Structure 1
Amino acid sequence: MTSYDKPFKTHAQQLDLLRERGMHIADEATALRALRNIGYYRLSGYWYIYRVSTKFVCALGAEPDIEVGDQFKPGTTFDRVLDLYDFDRRLRLHVLDAIDRVEVALRVRLGYTLGAGDAFAHLDRAALDEAFTQFDSRNPIASQALWLSSEHAKWLTNVRRDEDRSKHEFVKHFKAKYGMPLPVWVVTELLTFGSAATLLAGMKQPQKNIIAAGFGIFDEHCDGDGAALTKWIANLVYLRNTCAHHGRLWNHNVVDQLGRLEGTPDLIHASGVHQRSRIYASLAVLAYLTSQLDPESTWRTDTAAMIESGLAAIDESPDRIGCPPLWNREPIWAADYRPPADPLPVEHREILRRFECVGTADAGLIIDASSNAKRRASAVRYSRGRSELLGLPVGNTYRFPVFQFDTMCARINPLVAYANTALEAKDNPWGAAKWWSTSNIDMDSATPMDSLQAGTLTRQMIDNCVSHRNFE
């Protein structure tokens, strides 16, 4: 370890040092003001690329070593460094504007999705992912000790601290009227972006998928891709912290890189290593998310204009922030770009959310004891073709609501098969699904699915409903 022995330098001495190293300074007063207000070391990140570098030949086949010296390349000016810094400052503020929109929307969706299950779902270990809470529903007493050291317990500690410190009028009102704890849709309004990201990561996968679908992020099966959203948000938290602490975006090596971009066609071009190691991929993700939140938003086109004009004015390449060749011709930056719609109609998406479903392979394992996978799949197709088994068409696959199965007897519940046949489930799957999941006056306002599980559903009830045609 080498001890630090460089002497303190005044701003004027710092300026003299830059001159000695070859930087041209046209306006000394402006340069001194920049050193006083921005700082030598902050600006050094922007003049780094203008320093002379030397390559040293290494062993045969190895990459050459590069040593960056103290001297500046001929033609380097302090004004150009300041222009580059100003571009980066404006870009930081612009990025924060987009992240602000995404953060607020995420808070709302977290509170809404968790709150639909229970007002205090954020406190319920069983309502969140086991990896987050370390909670084992099969052994709740033993898992209590594990929970105390879980990420959920740490997260709740921070949440309670923020609740205690909050001066918001809506928090004061709730505490005065109802006491504690606060419901999840109030709590989410107090979360930092990082804390909101932690809660998102700690939710169960189906809940993450619902939120992802709301942001227009889908997988190949037309499900919301919660895993992708979680990775994107983690990257944006990193980016937000970089911006909030006045860190450099231009030519910045991104530590918390984006993943799972390939599933979104408009972002495939940003999935390369260089694009993700710089901020271009994050900018593309923000362009996608802001357009999903508001199709009329101009954030995307403003970003493209800022990159093109801002870097061209100082003769710097967009490659420094990871822009791929012809990046500005990608559809996502076009003025007439419109975000892709949900691959499912709104009504179908809403109906699908009412059910826990399995795919063909899992359905086959339940209704056919054969060890042959093709035979099991054939059994599922046969039952669906006879309208005995309700299969919801999603993309190129079918989803089978699990309430239909009598797992103890390894079959389709006979009453379900009877109802599905009467409902013509093969030809009208969404109508049949709607019937099963909609409250019915003939069943004391319960849904047929609830009546089935309660043991009160009868063939007579089914016949009455079908005769009235009140399932379409």
Structure 2
Amino acid sequence: MSGYWYIFREHAADYGPIREHDALRGDFFVDGTTFDQVVDLYEFDRRLRLIVLDGIERVEVALRMRLGYVLGETGAFAHLDPAALEPSFTGFDEHRPIESRSHWLGSEHVKWLSRVRAEEDRSREDFVAHFKARYGLPLPIWVVTELLTFGSLVTLVRGTKRLQKNSIAELFGVFDADCDGDGAALVSWIANLAYVRNICAHHGRLWNRNMVEQLGRLDGVPDLAHAAGPAPKSRIYSSLAVLAFLTAQLDPASTWRRQAFELVTVDFRKLGLPDSHLGCPKGWAAEALWSPSYVPPADPLSKEQRDTLRHFECMSTAEVGLVVDTSDVPKRRASAVRYLRSRDELIGLRVGGTYRFPSFQLDVDGGQVHPVVRRINVVLKANARPWEAAGWWITANPGIGGAMPVALVRSPDASLIAAAEIVDSTGMRTTAGAFLS
């Protein structure tokens, strides 16, 4: 119990308090201290651990599902494939696959795989036994994610590629300033939660624990910016704030935030200790995050827009400018891109404060917008209706046997796209060929 009674000792006279909650203590207790106060503090910490474990469990269950979904899109056994994961995790170099094999053998990926195999061999879960009996090993990613410890789960998320991390972050409602999923933020957050979970699982003292695994990238989320300071991050408060944000994203009707709020504002306050011991910044209780009426921020893009973006590799204005204009002047190249967009010849999707240009439109070798794409974009009114125009390119088209027009742009017989149906801005239905002659 020494971790709980230490706070009730007198400040060491020779040193004086360094900070209110971090002062050096002497050997004598403050006058009037009772053993019941120490027990009450322990009981608070026990309840704090339980509520934190409850919040982490909700995040963990969602993470298993979302990780399995995102990696499963790459392939059923993407977790086994070094080429499907981050090179820093696997040591794999796709340009030197044979030579990099030796690096892979000593990588974190191989160490992680050995733990996965141990979990597969040890598991007695019915669904695992069923899969082994019917299909044998290895297990697909959506089964493996159900077996992993939370620590191994976090390791795999860290080992995914940047776009995969961002996709997982999108599903948790964690976005950066460019409206992309902020995978780097999510990785930092779940690493901290894994650390906190380990403390709770081993009945460790949590209430004034100095956090070794601290949270990062909180200031990019307005509702968490108040928790980004050194004091909140060094104690449990920032972890509580992240859990409040994530549980609200997963279930806006969740009562977890209110339970955590009341535990601190009611139960902890009864102990007579300042909430700065928990890392709570001044004014924290008035933050929108803790309001009963709090509504978590929505995806800055609509579902249709997000789905559209997932179909394309995109280029920035600067990257497109290097293709369509040979000038050495960046402003002139940017002007050339704006000109093409203004003439409906080039689809530019506005995301946040910038434009993204689906790369299929560009004939890089020819230094131009692909002629077929340019003419069809004009019919689609690409400048006035960019998202609708982009949607046409990725929608199954009955005129070409249900294929997506985008798939034919670089095909050996691009003329097949002439049969694709187009509904112009007046509602008239025709074929692309009418505009390609």
* Distance apart, 1:242 and its partner CA: 0.8
* Distance apart, 1:253 and its partner CA: 0.5
* Counterpart for residue 422 of structure 1: 379
* Distance apart, 1:67 and its partner CA: 5.1
Contact 2:399 2:419 in 1 (8 A): no
Q: Residues 105-143 of structure 1: CA distance to partner in whole angstroms, max 9, x if unpaired?
A: 001000001111211111111111111111111110001
* Distance apart, 1:169 and its partner CA: 0.7
Unaligned runs of 5+ in 1: 1-42
* Distance apart, 1:208 and its partner CA: 1.0
Contact 1:107 1:188 in 2 (8 A): yes
Residue 303 (str. 1) matches residue 264 (str. 2): no
Residue 50 (str. 1) matches residue 8 (str. 2): yes
Q: How does 1:445-460 map to 2 (within 5 A)?
A: 445-458=402-415
AA at the equivalent of 1:189: E
* Counterpart for residue 329 of structure 1: 286
Cα distance in 1, alignment partners of residues 289 and 23 from structure 2 = 37
Contact 2:348 2:356 in 1 (8 A): yes
* Distance apart, 1:155 and its partner CA: 1.1
Contact 1:133 1:151 in 2 (8 A): yes
Contact 1:251 1:278 in 2 (8 A): yes
**3-state secondary structure, aligned to 2:215:** coil
**3-state secondary structure, aligned to 1:189:** helix
Q: How does 1:354-365 map to 2 (within 5 A)?
A: 354-365=311-322
Residue 134 (str. 1) matches residue 95 (str. 2): no
Q: How does 1:57-76 map to 2 (within 5 A)?
A: 68-76=25-33
Unaligned runs of 5+ in 2: 433-437
**3-state secondary structure, aligned to 1:253:** coil
* Distance apart, 1:459 and its partner CA: 7.4
* Distance apart, 1:317 and its partner CA: 1.3
Cα distance in 2, alignment partners of residues 418 and 427 from structure 1 = 15
Aligned residues: 425
Choose the corresponding residue for 1:113, options 44, 65, 70.
Answer: 70
TM-score by length of 2: 0.93
Q: Residues 136-177 of structure 1: CA distance to partner in whole angstroms, max 9, x if unpaired?
A: 111100010011111111111111111111111111111111
Choose the corresponding residue for 2:110, options 138, 146, 153.
Answer: 153
Choose the corresponding residue for 1:388, options 338, 345, 348.
Answer: 345
1:406–1:194 CA distance, 2 compared to 1 (3 A): same
* Distance apart, 1:463 and its partner CA: 6.4
Contact 1:438 1:447 in 2 (8 A): yes
Deviation >6 Å, runs of 4+? none
Choose the corresponding residue for 2:299, options 342, 351, 360.
Answer: 342
Q: Residues 88-112 of structure 1: CA distance to partner in whole angstroms, max 9, x if unpaired?
A: 0001000000000000100100000
Q: Residues 164-220 of structure 1: CA distance to partner in whole angstroms, max 9, x if unpaired?
A: 111111111111111121111111111111111111111111111111111111111
Identity of aligned residues (%): 55
Q: CA RMSD in A?
A: 2.0
Contact 2:405 2:420 in 1 (8 A): no
**3-state secondary structure, aligned to 2:350:** strand
**3-state secondary structure, aligned to 1:91:** helix
Cα distance in 2, alignment partners of residues 303 and 186 from structure 1 = 32
TM-score by length of 1: 0.86
Cα distance in 2, alignment partners of residues 226 and 416 from structure 1 = 33
* Distance apart, 1:462 and its partner CA: 6.0
Contact 1:275 1:322 in 2 (8 A): yes
Cα distance in 2, alignment partners of residues 435 and 377 from structure 1 = 26
**3-state secondary structure, aligned to 1:173:** helix
* Distance apart, 1:450 and its partner CA: 1.2
**3-state secondary structure, aligned to 2:11:** strand
Cα distance in 1, alignment partners of residues 334 and 419 from structure 2 = 28
AA at the equivalent of 1:49: I
**3-state secondary structure, aligned to 2:365:** coil
Residue 281 (str. 1) matches residue 242 (str. 2): no
Q: How does 1:5-404 map to 2 (within 5 A)?
A: 43-56=1-14, 68-404=25-361
* Distance apart, 1:375 and its partner CA: 1.2
AA at the equivalent of 1:386: R
AA at the equivalent of 2:106: S
Cα distance in 2, alignment partners of residues 67 and 125 from structure 1 = 50
